[in-house]
Structure 1
Amino acid sequence: MSDRRRLTGPANLIKPNIPEIVSNIDNKNQENTNSTSSIPSFFIKHAIINNANGSAYLEINNTIIEVSIFGPRPIRGSFIERGSLSVECKFLNHIIQPMQDSEPSKTGMSNIEHRLSSYLESCILPCILLEKYPKSTIDIQVSIISIDKSMVNSKSNSSLLWLMNWIVICTSIALIDSKIEIKDVISSGQIKLTRNGKIKIGIEDDEVEECIDALISFMNLRNDEIVGIWLEGNQSNLTESEMSLIIDECNKMSKIIRANMNSYLINNI
């Protein structure tokens, strides 16, 4: 049986077309944001935890996220043909969770943590080649160390989706650091569609009841395959053209972030 960890690349290797470095645009001084071209600068670093197979750290404004990946680790007992995946998103105890109506549970995960974990798992499952790791398990642990105060005070769902967007980005870098075989790097876009058809990004509370908050995750190199959709707001009157606009704008944002991720990976990994 061949050792998959030491397989070399093909002889007829083709150099990929990597986008140029895209500088992040800070939108703090912009009063009206109508395009996903304005994304706050973010800091990311991989391999920060020595005893993890893969890890990553991300900062954007006052939000800090850390992701650790353990595995593939062997499972004792019955044989399974595909590896299993376990995902857990947890806030540190001192953090007031966004959109939280009650005190966090001291045992187990809160409702918000369950929603974050469920969405992340749905995005990661199509990405990892689990058939390469029979009788194994992969554990992904996400720690939200800090969040912006605007997230806590926000009454809209955009704060939760904004946080989830960067959890996906940080997890993608950690997956690459773990050297687990994947189909593509996942990137996401998060936007707010107002009633008058304007697109905004970030955390805003204006026109809360008349907006649709959207988060869509993609595998851009696989023909922009969608691996996750999270919509919040009144969707009863959502038209096909509006849905197409949401997908296009989220895809634009994901590609801007993906270009920055590519630049980081080329220069650091």
Structure 2
Amino acid sequence: MGFTAGTAPRRTYLRQLIVAAVITLIFGGVGTLLTTIAAVTGGHPALWIVGIVFLVVGLIGLIGLIGMARERLAVGRDAGRALQEVAVGGPLPSPTTRSAPWSWPDLVRGVAAAFEDSPYVVHADDHQVRITADLADARWIQVTSLRTYSTVFAATLTRKRPGLARRNDVLHHVETTAGPLRLGAIAAVRSGRSWFWKRKVQAAIGPSGFQKVVDIDFSTSDINGPLQDVVKAAGWKQTLDAESKLALAMALLGGSSIIIVPLALLASWLLDR
């Protein structure tokens, strides 16, 4: 059984990149202005420090912006890959460490084994493994409306090198006409480690005919736990995406500036006395 997801709409990505670019330009511009004023006027040492902090934030933002753009383009491109449903096959290797990780095919089979008998299905090729809602499940066979839209979560691991895979979480639109449900275009891309939502199916037709109203809950916690256990047992590691790395760097820099700037002002005041 094959799987091909929809591609990413450019407008969604463009808006997100514009916001990141504006923030980067603001910090970079303010930092450049402050350091220029300090250089021309021989300004207060604290002015240098604040200006440099703003410049560093702007530089980190620029690096993160480039990384986000490249990563989002890659995610949109990978979303169109024709993946095959994974069969667990034979027994899995014994748990190992990062010094001797499982092969990629064994990791893929391990992921498939972790989601057996669950409302999720695993598709993969030699580059990527994707875990998403099993839209062939009896609860998802048909909906009564001719055309409905909702969203469903998909977690992907993209192989970077042996023992290391990039984690991206993608939110897809769910589309249906008179036929079965299918994944449509990408609605959003996130790190997704703490996302939760509910998708309601008002009425469904199953193997035994028309069935009662059902509610289907999907949560990232349903995927994160089993996936992390398999990745750890296989001796692999999940890397943060560019957006998460940028947020972490900004948080660390913001926390350090809260300490550095007041100390610089205090030291300058003591020296000027």
TM-score, structure 2 normalization: 0.27
Decide which structure has the larger Cα Rg and report it.
2
Higher helix share: 2
